[in-house]
Amino acid sequence: MDSAIVSINLFGAVALLLFGLGLVRDGMQRAFGARLKAGLATGTRDGPRAFFAGLVATVALQSSTATALMVASFVERDLILPRMAQVVLLGANVGTAMTAWIVAMGVGWLSPLLLLSGVVVGRGSSNARKGAGAALVGIGLMLLSLHLIGAATEPLRTSAALSAFLALLDNAWPVALIISAVLAVLASSSLAIVVLILSLAASGHLSTGLLIVLVLGANLGGAVPPVLATLHAAPSARRVAVGNLIVRAVGCFLALPLAGYSAQLLELLPLSHDKLPVDAHLGFNLALAVLAAPFTGLLSRLTTRLLPEPAKAENGRSFLEHSDLQTPVAALAGASREVLGVGDMIERMLVQANDALQQTDISKLSTISALEGRVDRAQHEIKVYVSRVDQTEIGDQHRRRATDIVDYAINLEHIGDIIEKGLLAELAKKITRGLTFSRDGHEELSRLFAVTIDNLRMAQAVFATRDNAMARRLVEAKEDVRRLERQSAERHLQRLRDGRAESIETSSLHLDMLRDLKRINAHIASVAHPILDQSGLLIDSRIRPAAS
């Protein structure tokens, strides 16, 4: 019974630590998320700045995993060079170690003070104040959890069973490293395991050598969660997380045979044995950063070989041939074909959403998110490709065509976002909750879906042919959609006034879907605007009256 109570107290204290970490991360992202992301994206011009950006972001977020995921997303969008991304993560590793060191130095009265301050600050009306308040509360909970972990492990410090188990581990350092790494993976936090090791160190059962090995295992395990989180991301994003895992793995396996010598060195230094885990944690990551920094370029090339770009299927081949960049006409023709392929993916997303509406089948929505990810990557590749076309060799006509290609790609990407974040969520909510539109409401939405799909197909033809008459019809169709949306909303409100149960249950979903389909059609029709504008048929985005 005593062992069960000790386990509950210990696991509860660790859970509180992880909860506090989550509060700090979410609060800092809410208060300073945009600034942190901007700092990470822009602070990578050289190695020292990239290292410092990773360190600061991780100390602020209390999570090297969060930093790694942000950096991976920036690499995927070509905002950070892969080599610099690895330097950022070296800084993030040091930031995690500094966080553990700061937490270990916390004094008893600081925790309630931070909790009180966080509650007071969080009562503000601005998002920044609420986020900062949540972060202060999170830090207070982390310090409180450290005290609770120490209290929970108090009975273990006199446990003969624990002493025997640690003695076994002291004679099997590789096993100890693996156990510590697995615990860090399960907790999704190296910090939590280092704090746990810190509490065990106070018992006096841990030899200095075993303590170092356990800290090495926590470091190794802490690099695994970002790899797992990016398994389905693009290869460029996965390389960042895998590179960080390789660095930590090599560092740990090189340091493992030297743990005994390192223990002798630490024992000679005037350091408290109770604080040795955080000292060793910080020292290891500082040494790893210094030794690994010169090899980040080599690491980037290695991860590129390990995770190459997938070969394009024949029906999904890219028309963005880099050999055409010096021949602008050919390059723009390839970019036009590529953006038409993006339009085809958007059509598939709309058709699948419509099928889910008609058949009340959530499985029809299963591939929409994957398609939206492909749309995001394709439109980014198109923008980058068109920006590299030799502008000195093309006239005004082709320059306008380049702009039209990029604008159409951006509009298609916006449509993909609306489908995934709007229609997908709304249809999933309707299906999972078993909601049913009224017969009239269902017919109105079905008609608007059909019109939207037809308009997208017309937009594809307008983009390919630049036909004035078809462009005029597309803009007129946009006006028809606005009228249909307005009429459907009015009829829906009338059904609400009539007290129709189906309309009451699905009111917000119906109106949200009308709004999203209207926004999609606005983006679709935008492809016609430059064509009509060049022909003098638009006045303030309106069509001139047709000549009689």
Cβ–Cβ < 8 Å for 448, 439: no
CB count in 10 Å sphere of residue 535: 13
Q: Which residue reads 């008459």 in tokens?
A: 469
Name the band, by pLDDT with cuts 50, 70 and 90, for residue 313.
very low
In a domain, 7, yes or no: yes
Residues 222 and 274: their CA atoms lie apart, in Å, by: 22
State pLDDT tens for residues 362-420: 887 888 888 888 888 888 888 888 887 766 666 677 778 888 888 889 999 999 999 98
Mean pLDDT is lowest, of 251-265, 314-328, 391-405, 456-470, for 314-328
pLDDT exceeds 50 at position 315: no
Query: Does 435 fall in a domain?
Result: yes
Question: Looking at the predicted structure, is the pLDDT value of residue 1 above 50?
Answer: no
- Give yes or no: residues 292 and 342 share one domain: no
315-343 average pLDDT score: 77
Tell me how many domains the chain contains. 2
Tell me if 31 is assigned to some domain.
yes
For residue 375, give every residue at least 6 positions away whose Cβ sits within 8 Å of its Cβ, in sequence order, or none.
Answer: 342, 345, 346, 349, 412, 413, 416
* CB atoms near residue 33 (< 10 Å): 18
Convert the pLDDT of each residue in 451-491 to its tens digit.
888 888 888 888 888 888 788 888 888 777 888 778 877 77
Residues 228 and 340 in one domain: no
pLDDT at 188 over 80: no
Task: Mean pLDDT check: name the lowest of 114-128, 331-345, 382-396.
Answer: 382-396
| 166 and 284 both lie in a single domain | yes
Give the per-residue pLDDT at 265: 82
pLDDT of residue 415: 92
Q: Which of 35, 80, 82 is nearest to 302 (CA)?
A: 82
- Boundaries of domain holding 143: 2-306
Q: What are the backbone dihedrals phi and psi of residue 543, each rounded to the nearest 5 degrees, phi first?
A: -85, 135
% pLDDT > 90, the chain: 4
* C-beta separation of 349 from 372 below 8 A: yes
Q: Residue written as tokens 């660095």? A: 247
* Residue 438 confidence class, pLDDT cut points 50, 70, 90: confident
Buried b (16+ CB within 10 A) or exposed e, 450-477: ebbbebbebbbebbeebeeebbbbbbeb
Joined together, the tokens standing for residue 402 give: 């380049």
CA-to-CA separations, 12 to 16, 182, 219, 282, 434, in angstroms, rounded: 6, 19, 23, 26, 38
Does residue 314 belong to any structural domain of this protein? no
Residue 195 located in a structural domain: yes
Does the residue 206 lie in any domain? Answer: yes
Per-residue pLDDT, averaged over 79-104, amounts to 81
* The Cα angle at residue 369 between residues 365 and 374, in degrees rounded to 5: 130
57 shares its domain with 154: yes
Least trusted range by pLDDT, from 64-78, 217-231, 270-284: 64-78
- 336 vs 533, higher pLDDT: 336
Q: What's the average model confidence in pLDDT over 194-207?
A: 75
Give the residue from 250, 273, 306 where a domain finishes: 306
Q: Are residues 236 and 197 in the same domain?
A: yes
Question: Do 338 and 198 reside in the same domain of the chain?
Answer: no
| 232, pLDDT greater than 60 | yes
Check which CATH number belongs to the domain holding 491 and give it.
1.20.58.220
Residues 103-113, mean pLDDT to the nearest whole number: 69
Q: Which amino acid is at 213?
A: V
Q: What is the pLDDT of residue 246?
A: 93
Q: Which residue has the higher pLDDT, 187 or 89?
A: 89
Residues 144 and 266 in one domain: yes
- For 488-511, what is the mean pLDDT? 71
Q: Is residue 168 part of a domain?
A: yes
3-state secondary structure of 542: strand
519 & 424 share domain? yes
Could you tell me if 369 and 265 lie in one domain?
Answer: no
Which of the four pLDDT bands, split at 50, 70 and 90, describes residue 541? Answer: very low
Sign of CA dihedral 416, 421, 424, 430: negative
Asked whether residue 175 falls in the same domain as residue 240, the answer is yes
Two structure tokens written together for 179: 């156990």
Q: Are residues 353 and 397 in the same domain?
A: yes
Q: Which amino acid makes up residue 355?
A: D
CA 79 to chain centre: 14
Q: Where are the alpha helices (DSSP H) in 153-258?
A: 160-170, 173-187, 190-201, 208-222, 224-229, 235-255
Nearest-angstrom CA–CA distance, 279 and 270: 12
**Coil, strand or helix at 205:** coil
Lookup: tokens for 304: 């590129």
d(CA 430, CA 307): 39
Rounded to an integer, what distance in angstroms lies between the CA atom of residue 356 and that of residue 268?
69
Amino acid, single-letter form, for residue 61: L
What mean pLDDT do residues 92-112 have?
Answer: 75
186 inside domain: yes
Banded pLDDT at 314 (limits 50, 70, 90)? very low
Could you say which of 240, 275, 306 is where a domain stops?
306
